[in-house]
Amino acid sequence: MSDRIDPEGFAGRLAFREEREWWICYWARMDTRAGATELARVRLVVVMQDPIVKQQFINFCKAAFDVVAREALGTTPLWPKPPTTAKD
């Protein structure tokens, strides 16, 4: 896992994965999880018991990525697509 996001080719996605007792948010390229960068994590029990808290965590992760993008590119990303379920 990379410790920083390369500003070249910023196109990517936020990916949320359950890993043991954690729900982890990564920034990943569109076509692969290789080189994904962890942005945030929360105990799975916290977000799975309350849909409002789950949405707040998702919003926090988007905001955190906005900060990273603004620092690297001077702009924040558009979030044009609704969340989708992973296919793998």
**pLDDT (tens digit per residue) in 1-21:** 344 445 455 667 888 999 999
Q: How far apart, in whole angstroms, are the C-alpha atoms of residue 56 and residue 50? A: 10
Q: With the C-alpha atoms ordered 40, 42, 33, 10, is the resulting torsion angle positive or negative?
A: negative
Distance of CA 40 to the CA centre of its chain: 7
Q: Of how many residues is the chain composed?
A: 88
What pLDDT does residue 1 have?
39
**pLDDT (tens digit per residue) in 39-84:** 999 999 999 999 999 999 999 998 988 888 788 777 777 776 666 7
What pLDDT does residue 86 have?
63
- Tell me which of 48 and 29 has the higher pLDDT: 48
What pLDDT does residue 16 have?
92
- The DSSP bridge partners found for residue 14 are 27
pTM of the predicted structure, to 2 decimals: 0.75
